[in-house]
Amino acid sequence: MPGHVSPRDLDAVLISHAHLDHVGAAPLLTISSTPKIYATESTITQAEILLKDMLKLSGYYLPFAAAEVTKFVRTAQRIRYGERFRIKDAEIEFVDAGHIPGSAQIIVNADKTLIYTGDFTPIKTRLLNGSKDPGSGFDVVVTESTYALEAHEPRKVLEDKVVELARETVNQGGILVVPSFAVARSQEVACILHAHGFKAPVWIDGMARQLLEVYLQDEEYVDGIDLLAKASRRIRIVRGKRDRVGILDEPGVVVSPAGMLKGGPAAYYASKVADDPASSILLVSFQAPNTPGARLLSEGKLTLDGSEFKAAAKVVQYKLSAHAGQTELREYISKRGDSGVAITIHGDPAACDAFASWIKENTGYRAINPAGSEPIVV
């Protein structure tokens, strides 16, 4: 939480996208004051859903309540891609980041030019066309470094693997459980299966259901909305406990949060199929250390409500990442300018350090991996 920041000292708050590590503290800034907050319409819509869910799960521990979330949603100014607006002497522009619907790279053009990548990827997916090229000649690039040490497999290869596993599991009479992020990832998995002509039942549960309805109304920010609409007509929505029990009686696929098995319906489904060698559990995202998903992947053991299950089901990870991989990060920074400062953030220390070193050796930028609160002068 940005407790060291006084809202009264802020000219504006620019929000790149709706994931909680980027927007989760925003309501805190509205308690004593209301700085101008800018984001896309899609970001605000998704953020409201995620913030309310965070309050439901952790409200006792948070320094703000529902009133601040409402105030944040009501007062935030909606900005469209390519729309330029001014904050004092700076001109601001949001550019599609390709990460989730409504995500933005943010350009600040003042006495010098800065671009903040936010979380981004140029890789086309079934939902999004990938990030737009923001141009070049930037004096400052603040870049994510999440996968600076890891290259992604080609998207087509990953999709083929997902569909092959789904078909293999269903053909042997099992159930494929896909723990998946509610925001964009669950809906993308459904789109992949539909695009490949997968015929068995595909169920969606948890908050992914609510986000599906949001995306079906979000033509401006969901590039693959036609495919999503077609897939949605075949998707089966889990309506309650009776469905959760019933869908385990026939071969099929169930897609549900939480993506790292830290709760949500996915944990329930995984526990129910864990001892079935005909079934599979497919992890489609990064698994943070010490999470149930990470342990399942490394040890073949599933922990739920204090109980431990040895997994007889097949456990696989195919990362359908919404972040730029090592190759894409390097290509991106190489196109941004011939001189200036690059600041590597949003990654493990080793990834930020490695990316900064690569930038120094291969581009004209002076690269910095900030490790403290000291100001960076450009």
Mean pLDDT of 192-204: 98
Distance CA 235, CA 229 (A): 10
Is the pLDDT reported for residue 168 higher than 80? yes
Going by the DSSP 8-state scheme, the letter that residue 353 receives in this structure is H
Cross-strand pairs, 342: 141, 367
The residue ranking higher by pLDDT, 279 or 30, is 279
**Confidence tier at 375 by pLDDT (50, 70, 90):** confident
Residue 376: per-residue pLDDT: 86
Domains and CATH numbers, the chain: 7-150+323-368 (3.60.15.10), 155-317 (3.40.50.10890)
Mean model confidence pLDDT for the chain: 95
Q: Concatenated DSSP letters for 302-332?
A: EEETTEEEE--SEEEE----SS--HHHHHHH
| pTM of the predicted protein model | 0.95
Residue 60: per-residue pLDDT: 81
Percentage of the chain exceeding pLDDT 90 = 88
Residue 3: per-residue pLDDT: 67
In tens, the pLDDT along 84-111 reads 999 999 999 999 999 999 999 999 999 9
The residue ranking higher by pLDDT, 378 or 141, is 141
Cross-strand pairs, 310: 301
- Residue pair 256/247 in contact (Cβ under 8 Å)? The answer is no
**Confidence tier at 31 by pLDDT (50, 70, 90):** confident
Among residues 47, 98, 111, the alpha carbon closest in space to that of 73 is found at: 47
